[in-house]
Structure 1
Amino acid sequence: MEQKPLHYDGSLQLDSSLTESVVNEPFQMTDEMRVSIGRNPYSVDTNE
């Protein structure tokens, strides 16, 4: 079984040629992103 199937836990054996395409750019977290991540999306916001 050369090519293993994709499992739900993500344990797929990838070729080295596929993993070389990862971009290593610095990530900048803004205050707007931080606020969006930090709140509950299902709660009703009274400020709007």
Structure 2
Amino acid sequence: RFYEKNGFRVVGRQQKEYLLKSYWAVPVRQMEVSVVLADAAWHELKSER
């Protein structure tokens, strides 16, 4: 996939919901069908916690 070739991976469901609620104002339905991508640096930071 394009995003994987460029160093991004899909964020898990719980993290996705947290990020969407924290940083964006989107309707519930949009949250359900959205994906959030993050780069390797973000995933490394999350695994260090």
TM-score after normalising by structure 2 = 0.29
Higher strand share: 2
Higher helix share: 2
Q: Which has the higher contact order (CA 8 A, sep 6+)?
A: 2
